[in-house]
Structure 1
């Protein structure tokens, strides 16, 4: 009796070859040498996960999502632009 339980990947079977466009090739890929010095930001496609520093920054900012924005700086800028006292904006 076989007691091996297939993993999720095994249960899905072999991964088919992509049939659509190669999303890793866009922008200036054909005009650069080896691509190592150029980060291609032509479209919003990432092949890997965001870097750790970005994940940490996003996670640290989650507590501020519900905070209502402080409009004092915007009011001061609008007042200064139009030559008005802040109280009139």
Structure 2
């Protein structure tokens, strides 16, 4: 006797293959150890610390982090 109850996902059947771009693809696939002349310019790749102007901007904003939002602008 089969006591398996299909889950909702199983009851829907197999998923069709996507017809659009592969959203799981990452640019590292083209520059990974293959001798390619391509450079990975992804935003999560950098060698140095953030530039001084960005550090100053972030530091200046820290005092406002705990401030409760002012709803007057949203109601205007």
Q: CA deviation at 1:4?
A: 70
Segment drifting more, 61-70 vs 5-14: 5-14
Residues 19 and 42 (structure 1), Cα distance of their counterparts in 2 relative to 1, 3 Å cut: farther
Matched residues in 2 for 1:18 and 1:49: separation? Answer: 39
1:21-68, Cα deviation, whole Å (9 max, x unpaired): 999999599999999999975342221100001101111111111100
Residues 52 and 8 (structure 1), Cα distance of their counterparts in 2 relative to 1, 3 Å cut: farther
Give me the TM-score of the superposition, normalised by structure 2. Answer: 0.41
Matched residues in 2 for 1:57 and 1:8: separation? Answer: 49
Give unpaired runs (5+ residues) of structure 2.
none
Residues 50 and 11 (structure 1), Cα distance of their counterparts in 2 relative to 1, 3 Å cut: farther
Matched residues in 2 for 1:11 and 1:73: separation? Answer: 48
Residues 3 and 26 (structure 1), Cα distance of their counterparts in 2 relative to 1, 3 Å cut: closer
How many equivalent residue pairs?
Answer: 76
Residues 69 and 14 (structure 1), Cα distance of their counterparts in 2 relative to 1, 3 Å cut: closer
Higher RCO, 1 vs 2 (CA within 8 Å, ≥6 residues apart): 1
Give me the TM-score of the superposition, normalised by structure 1. Answer: 0.36
Give unpaired runs (5+ residues) of structure 1.
76-88
